[in-house]
Amino acid sequence: MGERSDAARRSTEATWAPIAPRPHPPDSVGDTSVSAPASALGAFFSRQSTAGRASGTVSQILLGLVCGGYAVGAAFGWGSSELALVMGDFGLSAAALIAAVSCFLYARFACDRFRPAWLLFSLSSLMAAGGNAVWGWYEVVLGVDVPSPSPADVFFLCFAPPAIVGLLVLAKRPVTRAGWLCLVLDSWLIGGSLLTLSWSLALAHTAHLADAEGASVARAALSLAYPLLDIVLVSMVLALHFRRANANRSAVNTAIAALALTVLCDALFTSPLLRQTYHSGQLLDAGWFAGSLLLAYAPWGANRPGDNAVEQRPAPRTTSRPIAGSLAALTPYLAAAVCTLGILYNVIEGRRVDRVVVFTGCTVVLALVVRQGIMLVDNIALTQELAQKENHFRSLVQGSSDVIMIAAPTGILRYVSPAASGVYGREADDLIGAELASIIHPEDLGRVVHEVRRFLAAPPSEEPTTRIECRFRSGTGDWLNVESTVNRHQGGLILNSRDVTERVRLQAQLQHNAEHDPLTDLPNRALFTERVRQALGGRRAGDPGTAVLFIDLDGFKAVNDRLGHQAGDELLVQAARRLQESVRAGDTAARLGGDEFAALILGDGTHDQGAREYQVHEIADRLRLALSQPYRIGGGEVRVAASIGVAFAEPAITPTDLMRNADLAMYRAKAAGKDRVELYAPQMQAEVVRRSELAARLRTALRDGEFALLHQPVVHLGTGTVAAVAAQARWRSAQGILFTPAEFLRVAEDSDRTAELGRWLLEEAVEQAADRARAGHQVAVAVRLSARRLLDRAMPFGSVEALLTRHGLPSGALMIEVSDNDPRVSFDELEQRLVGLRRLGVRIALDGFGSGYAAINALRRLPVDVLKLDRGLVEGVVESARLHKITSGLLRIACDLGLQSVADGVDVPEQVLALRAMGCTHGQGMAFSGPLDEYRLRRTLVRGEFPVPGSPTQPVLTRGSIPLLSGPHSEMPIPPT
């Protein structure tokens, strides 16, 4: 029966196989790819490994039921002696064979370094199955007693070596020679102590009994071989238990349980009392049967995916680790105690101390001395290394510029590095014993506590550290921005902190610079847009009282041109200060760029839209008045005006649309005369759309040649002769609509096609004038160009001379009428341009004289030949005595300067008489003729003169003496051309 005991023990030892880490095929170990070729039991174990905890529990219950059923059958003798022999021999053989097949199939698909261990366990279980099968052949099939020795003994003895090697494969291998030596010594200490105790209790008696009975040497060796192999296996298991790998804890625990059960059965079997009455099929066989099934279960059921997590990351520290370490340290002393017990037993029994006991005890003591020497040397080396590392880390901590603090679980600071005096301005000793919360800013304390609690609740393997940024109180009472890296330390915290105040200040400055205007320090367009977005969302969403104001400084360009950009910047700074002081505390004033400002007026929740519009209009008017006050710059006063557009929030409006509406209202304020406040109306957007469509059609018309050129005669007021013709463009669209200059020139001024339209007008006028001259009609042509267009790079100086040369028109036959109502035009550049044109022989007329604020300045500085009175003066010259005096004065100025004069908009005979009486020389208007196409113009030139009301005073000009260009407003019907 010792053979069966040994086989059971071997099969139980094989349950250490779960120590090996589970392999990691693409699918889990319990995948059907692994279990498909397995036996029924192996497939069952495979299925439960993939089913998780629930199926694992079911498999354990089923395993317990199978083992329990075998134990019940054995306890009741299986009902017959024959069945008891079958179950006691072939039943154990079948269990061992299942274990062998299970370990082999698992090892076949294993992909890690523990695969050889499973193969070795499979081999050892196969040996146990063979031994039990041979044993059953003798007892059941042949019906004879098993001879001693027999072939079964060969199988049982071949079980131990593979099992021992397999345990070595599973164990955590030593990395040094001293470690290997300690492993050997520990194994011998345990094995020698067990041998001493076993020899004293039973083995010596067995040896003497075999000698007394005259047993053969082989039989005597067999009687001692099985117990000794038990001792070796138990020694290996106990020695390697404290060195096992960290993987597959559940498998390891299963193997330990199986081993304990097998060793207990072996101990009971070797006792003389039980051995005398033992026969196959008794209850003792249930222990060996359970050991074999536990081995079969271990790789599939106990080796679950959940255990593999241990291989992925270190297991958290538990209280079992110190206990395991203590037991490992006590192993040599426990071995010596066991040896002492063996010797004392012989002394107490009055027996002579056996030589085997003496020899074994001496070797155990010698091994203990050698191991203690190795441990002493290791302890000395570790102590020195620890002292060096401690000095090294102490120097690192004390020399580090970061502050290292250790806080207890209660929040009390237990250690603070010396760097605290340089970083916090507080001595480390003053901080030790203080609460960490006492040096954190109260506003940051709640956030820090929340982050610490969250960090401590998180698994250390998933979040080993965290970073916290808060404010610490310095020794001077100031608050420093501190960034800390936090680690766990014995339930408390280790904080590695550094002062980042300068970095935070720099980040705040960079953020401020990115969101504010560098000149005025007001919010820029980006921040203003974000403020508008916030005002339109959140709790203020849908508040119709929220308004956006767009503000443009009228006349700022002139300040820049006259006083320089430095003075302009100073004006902008003062304007920004006034704007900031004029808005309410919760409102936002911003500079969008150039001389454009904006203000966000938050709603107050009122539902009276009329009252709210009145209130915001009042705020806007107050801003306009504040910005229009004189500015003190460079010792003098400068004045500018402000045009303001106001737009109110609407349901579901976007910030972009709201700001666009305010911009449209601001441009409407500028177009309506400037220095005023305009509220946005939906028709403004419709006007923009119409203008955009018209501009697009205008570009198409320029490309497709839809423009026509008409001419209006300029008549001598004394004789009625035609002195010149004024060229005027007309656009007949594809829809047959005839647009006058008042309708499309305003669009052209704002479009990219203005230069192209100006070039076309000049070239067409010169070309047609040259054709008329060749036909015998020597009459000058006047072309109206704005001062801005004359300075455009698209119309260089040489282009006018080249145009006259190309068409053969004398330069004296061309007059340029200059419109000077654009304040952005530099008078210096315009003067140089006009002087160059006069050198070519081109005549210069000042158009719209008497209407622009710069008219007198233009008359003073520009080289002008002709003054063209604005039609606003001509229209009321008869009815208004005031206008009569103003017009008369302007004509006297022209006469005194030697300039010729032309009255624009002469529509009735009374105006002709009045103007001629004042000394005006020429007129243009419906009193004589409207704009004519080329055919009617030539017929008019053939006639040569128009009837003039009243009698002429005296001839002032001869025919063709001046060229002019009119600025028509009223039109007469024009036939198709």
DSSP state, residue 584: -
| pLDDT (tens digit per residue) in 709-752 | 899 999 999 889 999 999 988 877 666 666 665 556 555 554 45
Structure tokens at 839: 């050198």
Task: In whole angstroms, give the CA distance from residue 974 to residue 977.
Answer: 8
**pLDDT at 833 (0 to 100):** 87
Prior bond of 931 cis (ω within 30°): no
Task: Provide the pairing of β-strand 596-601 with 547-554.
Answer: antiparallel
The C-alpha atoms of residue 250 and residue 96 are separated, in whole angstroms, by 21
Gap between the terminal Cα atoms of the chain: 133
Provide the angle, in degrees to the nearest 10, between the axes of the packed helices 754-774 and 797-807.
30
Higher-confidence residue of 33 and 920: namely: 920
Please, are residues 151 and 132 in contact by the beta-carbon 8 Å criterion? no
Region of 919 please: left (phi>0), alpha (psi -120 to 50) or beta. Answer: left
Q: Left, alpha or beta for 960 (phi > 0: left; psi -120 to 50: alpha)?
A: left
Secondary structure in 3-state letters for 941-957? HHHCECCCCCCCCCCCC
pLDDT computed for residue 666 by the predictor: 92
Q: Is the pLDDT of residue 360 over 90?
A: no
Q: How far apart are CA 262 and CA 273, in angstroms?
A: 18
pLDDT band at 427 (very low <50, low <70, confident <90, very high): confident
Which pLDDT does position 333 carry in this prediction?
66
pLDDT at 914: 92
pLDDT at 424: 84
Whether the CB-CB separation of 461 and 444 falls below 8 Å is answered with no
The total number of residues shown for the chain amounts to 977
Q: Highest mean pLDDT range out of 30-39, 259-268, 947-956?
A: 259-268
Amino acid at 949: P
Residue 39 pLDDT more than 50?
Answer: no
What pLDDT, on the 0 to 100 scale, is given for residue 67?
Answer: 86
What is the distance between the alpha carbons of residues 40 and 47, in angstroms, rounded to a whole number? Answer: 11
What's the CA gap between 294 and 257, in Å, rounded? 9
Q: Which residues, 6 or more positions from 533, have their beta carbon under 8 angstroms from its beta carbon? A: 655
Element containing residue 488 per DSSP (H, E): strand 479-489
What is the sign, positive or negative, of the torsion defined by CA atoms of 134, 138, 142, 143? negative
Q: Does the pLDDT value for residue 29 go beyond 90?
A: no
Tokens of residue 216, six digits: 């053969």
What average pLDDT does range 374-382 have in this prediction?
A: 81
Handedness of CA 788, 790, 794, 796 (dihedral sign): negative
Per-residue pLDDT tens digits for 438-471: 889 999 999 999 999 899 889 988 888 999 999 9
* Average pLDDT of the residues of the chain: 76
Stronger pLDDT, 341 or 783, i.e. the higher one:
783
Query: Comparing 372 with 480, which gets the higher pLDDT?
Result: 480
Q: Provide φ and ψ at 328, rounded to 5°.
A: -65, -40
pLDDT band at 545 (very low <50, low <70, confident <90, very high): confident
- What's the rounded Cα separation, in Å, for the pair 901 and 904? 10
CB 731 within 8 A of CB 746: no
Which residues lie across from 482 on neighbouring strands? 470, 499
DSSP annotation of 771 reads: H
Please check the confidence at residue 642 and state whether its pLDDT lies above 90.
yes
CB 187 within 8 A of CB 236: yes
Residue 15 in this model has a pLDDT that exceeds 70: no
Return the bridge partners of 712, or none.
726
The region of weakest confidence among 56-60, 77-81, 597-601, 965-969 is 965-969
The alpha-carbon radius of gyration of the chain (Å, integer) is 56
* pTM for the full predicted model: 0.48
pLDDT value of position 490 = 80
Residue 467: phi, psi to the nearest 5?
-125, 130
Rounded to whole angstroms, the Cα distance separating 308 from 729 reads: 90
Complete DSSP assignment for 233-294? HHHHHHHHHTTB-SS-HHHHHHHHHHHHHHHHHHHHHHSHHHHHH--TTSTHHHHHHHHHHH
Q: Higher pLDDT residue, 193 or 219? A: 193
382-413 confidence digits (pLDDT tens): 888 888 877 776 666 665 668 888 898 888 99
Q: So what's the pLDDT on residue 714?
A: 94
- Residue 373 pLDDT > 70: yes
Please give the Cα distance from 100 to 121 (Å, whole number).
Answer: 7
> What is the average per-residue pLDDT within 89-98?
88
- pLDDT of 31 > 50? The answer is no
pLDDT on residue 131: 84
Coil, strand or helix at 750: coil
Name which residue leads in pLDDT, 552 or 74.
552
Closest by alpha carbon to 293, among 47, 110, 92? 92
Q: Which of 476, 960, 551, 903 is nearest to 719 (CA)?
A: 960
In whole angstroms, how far apart are CA 689 and each of 103, 167, 682, 686, 749?
A: 84, 89, 11, 5, 16
Other CB atoms within a 10 A radius of the CB of residue 767 amount to 14
Strand 588-593 relative to strand 465-473: parallel, antiparallel, unpaired?
unpaired
- C-alpha 844/C-alpha 782 separation (Å) is 9
Distance, in Å, from the CA atom of 810 to the CA atom of 802, rounded to the nearest integer, reads: 12
Asked if residues 118 and 188 have their Cβ atoms less than 8 Å apart, the reply is no
pLDDT band at 661 (very low <50, low <70, confident <90, very high): very high
DSSP-assigned beta bridge partners for residue 553: 642
pLDDT confidence of residue 396: 65
The amino acid occupying position 917 is A
Order of strands, sheet of 677-679, starting from the edge strand that comes earlier in the sequence: 588-593, 596-601, 547-554, 641-648, 677-679
Please give the structure tokens belonging to residue 263: 């060793």
Question: Is the predicted pLDDT of residue 572 greater than 90, yes or no?
Answer: yes
Q: What percent of the chain has pLDDT over 70?
A: 69
Is the confidence at residue 546, as pLDDT, over 60?
yes
In angstroms, rounded to a whole number, what is the distance separating the alpha carbons of residues 816 and 842? Answer: 7
Q: Which of 15, 20, 12, 16 is nearest to 245 (CA)?
A: 20
How far CA 800 is from CA of 806, 807, 836, in Å, comes to: 10, 11, 10
Taking the C-alpha atoms of residue 56 and residue 30, their distance in angstroms, rounded to an integer, is 11
- Specify the range with the lowest mean pLDDT, choosing from 31-45, 311-325, 636-650, 762-776: 31-45
The helix (H) or strand (E) run that includes residue 310 is helix 305-312
* Residue 227 exposure: Cα atoms within 13 Å on the Cβ side: 24
Residue 848 pLDDT > 60:
yes
Output the six-digit token pair for 173: 């291998």
